[in-house]
Chain A
Amino acid sequence: MRLVIPLAITFVAGMIMILQFFVPATQSVGESLQEWYMIVASAAIFLGAINLLNVHVHKIRFKAPNWKYSPVTIAGFSVMIITGIFFGIEPGKPFDYMFTQMMVPMGATMFSLLAFFVASAAFRAFRASNWRATLLLLSAFIVMLGRVPIGGMISPKIPLISEWIMQVPNLAGQRAVMIGAAMGMVATSLRMIFGIERSYLGGAD
């Protein structure tokens, strides 16, 4: 039963979601399922929050590696929740102040670090070791120059060639990846609906 019931639910729900496009009578059931999904997804946020606390409390209790960062996580988490609940989240309130003055700059800083790692990684790994790598290197140079004003100042043709690279070779490659991924998604979905793919059950089979 542990196996049959989840497989039956998956089959029925999956078939309804497909059939609603073709059979109008199943449309309202499909809409109900979508609402259930949103309710479950909202509940999952609370589960995620509880899990976050659980993981970090566990780390502190058992002095797991890097446990010293966990009190900081719990403190930040608690302060944001408490200020949000007791003072509100409107502009000017402590929650909003901490979001705009702490969370925003810290988030932007983390993403900005990419520039340094990209520079270091490109220096060490971007080698013209054969003609294909050389072609990739030249394309990268043209796109890098074409995406900033200085490229157009060097030659007005650089932005045009850069846009051509994006719109022709890049588009062809991206489209191939998208079609391949979409076909894989359809195949995996069908395998799940018909009970062939069962890994999502967490090893219950």
Chain B
Amino acid sequence: MSTFVEKLGSIDRRIIFIVMALAVILPLAFRMSLPIKIGEGPSKDMYDAVEALPNGSTVLLSFDYDPSTMPELQPMAIAMAQQLMTKDIKIVSLALWPMGVSLGNEALISVSDSLGKEEYLDWVNLGYKTGGGVLIVRMGSDIKSVFPVDYDGNSVDEMPIMDNINKLSDFDMIISLSAGDPGIPSWVMMAGDRYDIPIGGGCTAVSAPQFYPYLGTGQLVGLLGGLKGAADYETMVRVGVEDAPAGTATPGMAAQSVAHLVIMLFIILGNISYLAGKKKKRGAK
């Protein structure tokens, strides 16, 4: 028995990989679903902050991520765009990451088409510019000099959505969907603190803990952390909306639940083996 328990500690990693793969694939293949319960927390705070914006407000949406973090952040972008456009809030978007601009454009076009919104009137994608924090500071005094044309090369001066937008303080809120730097910290430090603009955010699950100090001080009005944050948001946005399209984060939560249980199971097995080995060593002494 002791030998078997000790052997548990040396399971081939290929077996771990296969079990993990099955833990992710099977719930998705069999469309397993688990109820998403929304409680008080950063996701709800984020939703409430957007809901509190009056119709006709303008929000800056920054797509600060790339394809590697897209599975977590793209569902947030889509759900966020759905909520904003449904509330007739105008979206001015940009990207601090070069590949975020295409992903953001994809999300905005899909939601805009489904809700019958118009580019340049209800939303615009300004594109990508390098510079990170410095770019944000420059936008604080003059956005149109930093982005004279949008992603498609059209002059921003001729866009109705940009009529009353000249600097960062003209926005009612800034939301950054961030996978790293530049991202949420840059927006908080360079825009939120400097120009007193409410900042909201979405980030990957691994980076969420580092943004809790900003939530504690109110520098972030809300935060969507990882796939869970995206699923929470999808659920809240879909409440009361008939025939709302299902997002990709909510079905993923079942797979993530099983994957977490599997990881915990492996940790427990590893510890049983470790404690058995420790006990055996003590007995030998």
Contacts and interface: CB of A to CB of B under 8 A. Distances in A.
A150 B260 contact: yes
Interface in B223-257: 225-226, 228, 253-254, 256-257
Interface string A66-92: 000000000000000000000001110
B269 interface: yes
B35 interface: yes
B53 to A, nearest CB: 25
Nearest to A96: B102
B263 A119 contact: yes
Contacts of A100: 102, 106
A108 B209 CA distance: 22
Nearest to A178: B213
B264 A175 contact: no
Contact of A106 (B67, B131, B141, B260): B67
Interface stretch (A2-10, A34-42, A50-58): A34-42
B13 A103 contact: no
Measured as residues with beta carbon below 8 angstroms from the partner, the interface class of chain B is 35 or more
Interface in A120-179: 120, 122-124, 126-129, 137, 141, 144-145, 147-153, 159-160, 163, 166-167, 170-171, 174-175, 177-178
B68 A149 contact: no
Nearest to A134: B271
A115 B71 contact: no
B131 A38 contact: yes
A38 B145 CA distance: 12
A175 B213 contact: yes
A160 B41 CA distance: 9
B263 A144 contact: yes
B143 interface: no
B13 A120 contact: yes
Nearest to A176: B213
A24 interface: no
Chain A to chain B: the 10 pairs with minimum beta-carbon distance, closest first: A107-B67, A150-B257, A149-B34, A111-B68, A123-B266, A148-B257, A107-B68, A104-B67, A38-B131, A171-B212
24 contacts: A31-B141, A35-B138, A44-B130, A91-B106, A104-B70, A104-B103, A105-B67, A110-B68, A115-B20, A119-B20, A119-B266, A123-B16, A126-B267, A126-B270, A141-B264, A147-B226, A149-B257, A150-B34, A163-B39, A163-B41, A171-B216, A174-B210, A178-B210, A178-B213
